[in-house]
Amino acid sequence: MSAALVAPALEQAAQWFALRQQGWSDDDQHRWQAWLRADPEHADAWQRVESVWQSFAPLSAPAAAKALDSVDRRRRQALRGIGGALGLGALSVLGLHGLQAQRRLQMQRTASGHTGHWTLADGSQLWLNADSEVAIDIGNGRRALHLLRGELLLQSGHRPAFAALPLSVHVPGACLQPIGTRFAVGREAQGSRLDVFDGAVRCLPLFAAAREVRAGSAVQIGPMGGLSAVDADPLRGDWQDGRLQVQDTRLIRVIDELARHHRGYLGCDPALSALKVTAVLPRLDSLQALRLLARALPLRIEQPWPWWTVVRPR
Amino acid sequence: MAVPAISSATLAGFYREHHGWLLGWLRRRTHSAECAADLTQDTFLRLLSRRVDTTELRLPRAYLSTIAHALLVNHWRRADLQRAYLAALAEQPEPVHASAEERAQALQLLHAIADMLAGLAARPRRAFLLARLSGLGYAEIGLQLGVSERMVKKYMAQAMLHCLRLSGDGTA
């Protein structure tokens, strides 16, 4: 789950809502009323909770429940049908489906909170970030990786047997060919992102001209292969050793990065977003990282429930 | 990537060259001339709004059919949802009397709600719907999802926050 700047009033309103639906005590209700009165923003936020909840009213509840459920179920079945290749763009679903039908691919995946490291048959070093999955198709004249989910970091290898065969990494919309290099590719909500740290990567989009992306630069790859240059992000290249090293980086950026490996919700008070941080943090232990930040910066960790963490000004 | 404006003559030529083909492609898949015509227009509109330089497309028809396919999937998804809702409505013991207009509004609303919940993970989404539409308590929802009541409470807050973010500018 990713962190975002959310007004504290909205977070609190969502928490009060979850408590109300559970059934609250008189005492809870008094505390809620006090919260409502404390700030006009609270009242606004609560108004929005009610309007979301009431927006369902014109529907026939049983029919809407059945309809939404049946459509969900059909979609789940359809996704299972393509070999668990969840979250793939339509193009790559077809491509991968064909591949899997022809031969068994080697799959590597990591759970949330864990990264993985493998040396591939061609000598390449592959790191998988937490909660990621890749299909490996190396050998028998093939040398390709398909990133299905999450993020990978690759240091291309040079075993002589593979010298004549270019390595390629596939994401929806594009094929990436590294040229003696170290780079990271991550799947995002819309498309993918390529960050090159050493050497260069040839980016071959489906429908546009190829482009070479050099060390220190990055591109966003749309699901249809549209390329747009973005600023390279050094934070994206250093996760393989489990450390998050930041220098003069905005706090919201750091929290966002920690949120990728955080269980539950991790938010940041907008008042803190511009605060600059220089630190070395444990990347996979977000709570420990937050405690370290709280020691050095004017912030505190608010955790009303174990799965709900917000960083606030002290 | 900055995309230069494309001349309208280029676009008109592109439209003339591929319109008939795309219409046929969609008609074969929808079995409805009207629906195919709508989706063809939508496909070209989508192309326009992306400011794609059509002269640079190596495989213009592959590009068009990819956009059209996405629109088609969305169309089927909406039609499925609509059909399932109307079928469930008809099955109810006490038939609901609604005017055509009320029914159309209800369907719009259903699509909007489905879109609003689309970005949520499966379990928070299910918990939220069970609470809202089936009126279940946290204990029952927990049983259905195989999670603790505390987890259900988490899902409910998560789902509500998701809707709150989408229902306004997100920062209030």
Would residue A74 count as lying in a domain?
Answer: no
Read off the pLDDT of each residue in B105-119 and give the average, rounded to a whole number. 81
For A199, list phi and psi in degrees, rounded to 5. 65, -140
- Residue A280 in tokens: 């070395």
> How many independent structural domains does chain A possess?
3
Chain B: residue whose CA lies nearest to A219: B1
Q: Residue A283 is part of a domain; what is its CATH number? A: 3.55.50.30
* A263 compared with B4, residue with greater pLDDT: A263
Q: How far apart are CA B10 and CA A221, in angstroms?
A: 26
- Residue B145 in tokens: 């999802």
Please judge whether B89 and A10 are an interchain contact, meaning their C-beta atoms are less than 8 angstroms apart. no
Contacts of residue A20, Cβ cutoff 8 Å, sequence gap at least 6 = A32
Confidence band (pLDDT; 50, 70, 90) for B164? confident
Last residue of a domain, one of A212, A237, A262: A237
Would residue A85 count as lying in a domain?
Answer: no
Residues A256 and A269 in one domain: yes
Q: Give residue B49's pLDDT.
A: 67
Going B118 to B121 to A260 to A17, the CA torsion angle's sign is: positive
Q: Residues of A numbered 256-275 whose beta carbons fall under 8 angstroms of chain B's beta carbons: which are they?
A: 264-265, 270
Q: Give residue A87's pLDDT.
A: 33
Contact (Cβ atoms closer than 8 angstroms) between residue A147 and residue A221: no
Residues A232 and A122 in one domain: yes
End-to-end Cα separation, chain A, in angstroms:
25
What's the gap in Å between the CA of B34 and the closest CA on chain A?
A: 24
Contacts of residue B95, Cβ cutoff 8 Å, sequence gap at least 6 = none
Q: Give residue A26's pLDDT.
A: 94
Amino acid (one-letter) located at A243: R
What's the gap in Å between the CA of A162 and the closest CA on chain B?
A: 30
Name the residue facing A67 among B96, B110, B160 (closest C-beta): B110
Residues A35 and A98 in one domain: no
Residues A167 and A279 in one domain: no
- Within 8 A of A55 by CB-CB distance, chain B residues are 109, 113
Mutate to test the interface with A, among B49, B91, B156, B160 (most CBs of A within 10 A): B160
Hey, is A129 helix, strand or coil?
coil
* B70 compared with A45, residue with greater pLDDT: A45
Please judge whether B81 and A71 are an interchain contact, meaning their C-beta atoms are less than 8 angstroms apart. yes
Would residue A125 count as lying in a domain?
Answer: yes
What's the gap in Å between the CA of B114 and the closest CA on chain A?
A: 7
Please judge whether B158 and A14 are an interchain contact, meaning their C-beta atoms are less than 8 angstroms apart. yes
A57 touching B, CB under 8 A?
no
Please judge whether A265 and B158 are an interchain contact, meaning their C-beta atoms are less than 8 angstroms apart. yes
Q: Give residue B133's pLDDT.
A: 92
Q: Give residue A235's pLDDT.
A: 67
- Within 8 A of B69 by CB-CB distance, chain A residues are 90
Q: Give residue B70's pLDDT.
A: 83
Last residue of a domain, one of A237, A269, A290: A237
- Within 8 A of B131 by CB-CB distance, chain A residues are 21
Name the residue facing A90 among B70, B156, B158 (closest C-beta): B70
What is the interface size between A and B, counted as CB pairs within 8 Å? 163
Confidence band (pLDDT; 50, 70, 90) for B7? low
Confidence band (pLDDT; 50, 70, 90) for B168? low
Q: Give residue A258's pLDDT.
A: 87
- Within 8 A of A48 by CB-CB distance, chain B residues are 164, 167-168, 172
Would residue A71 count as lying in a domain?
Answer: no
Residues A192 and A157 in one domain: yes
Instruction: Flag residues of chain A having pLDDT under 70.
Output: 1-6, 74-105, 112-113, 189, 206-208, 223-224, 234-235, 237-241, 305-307
Would residue A283 count as lying in a domain?
Answer: yes
Q: Which residue ranges form the domains of chain B, and what is each CATH number?
A: 8-90 (no CATH), 102-172 (1.10.10.10)
Q: Residue A165 is part of a domain; what is its CATH number? A: 2.60.120.1440
How many H helices and E strands in chain A?
A: 7, 17
Residues A153 and A230 in one domain: yes
Please judge whether A22 and B157 are an interchain contact, meaning their C-beta atoms are less than 8 angstroms apart. no
Chain B: residue whose CA lies nearest to A264: B154
Amino acid (one-letter) located at B3: V
Q: Which helix (H) or strand (E) holds A213?
A: strand A211-214
What's the gap in Å between the CA of A35 and the closest CA on chain B?
A: 16
- Residue A162 in tokens: 């593979």
Last residue of a domain, one of A237, A265, A288: A237
Q: Give residue A1's pLDDT.
A: 36
Residues A160 and A221 in one domain: yes
What's the gap in Å between the CA of A242 and the closest CA on chain B?
A: 27
Q: Give residue B21's pLDDT.
A: 92
Name the residue facing A14 among B110, B113, B164 (closest C-beta): B164
Name the residue facing B56 among A53, A66, A208 (closest C-beta): A208
* A94 compared with B63, residue with greater pLDDT: B63
Residues A113 and A200 in one domain: yes
Contacts of residue B22, Cβ cutoff 8 Å, sequence gap at least 6 = B40, B43, B61, B64, B65, B68
Residues A100 and A132 in one domain: yes
Hey, is A200 helix, strand or coil?
strand
Q: Give residue B161's pLDDT.
A: 92
Please judge whether B122 and A228 are an interchain contact, meaning their C-beta atoms are less than 8 angstroms apart. no
Please judge whether A22 and B153 are an interchain contact, meaning their C-beta atoms are less than 8 angstroms apart. yes
A61 touching B, CB under 8 A?
yes
Contact (Cβ atoms closer than 8 angstroms) between residue A176 and residue A211: no
- The average confidence (pLDDT) of chain B is 82
Residues A109 and A228 in one domain: yes
Would residue A205 count as lying in a domain?
Answer: yes
What's the gap in Å between the CA of A208 and the closest CA on chain B?
A: 6
Hey, is A140 helix, strand or coil?
coil
Q: Give residue A6's pLDDT.
A: 66
Would residue A149 count as lying in a domain?
Answer: yes
Name the residue facing B92 among A63, A226, A307 (closest C-beta): A63
Burial of B109 (0-12, 13-18, 19+ CB in 10 A): middle
The pLDDT of residue B16 is above 60: yes
Helices (H), chain B: 8-30, 33-49, 60-91, 100-118, 122-133, 138-145, 149-167
Mutate to test the interface with A, among B66, B102, B111, B149 (most CBs of A within 10 A): B66
Residues A130 and A217 in one domain: yes
Residues A105 and A227 in one domain: yes
Q: Which domain holds residue A291?
A: 242-313
Q: Give residue A98's pLDDT.
A: 42
Would residue A15 count as lying in a domain?
Answer: yes
Q: Give residue A237's pLDDT.
A: 66
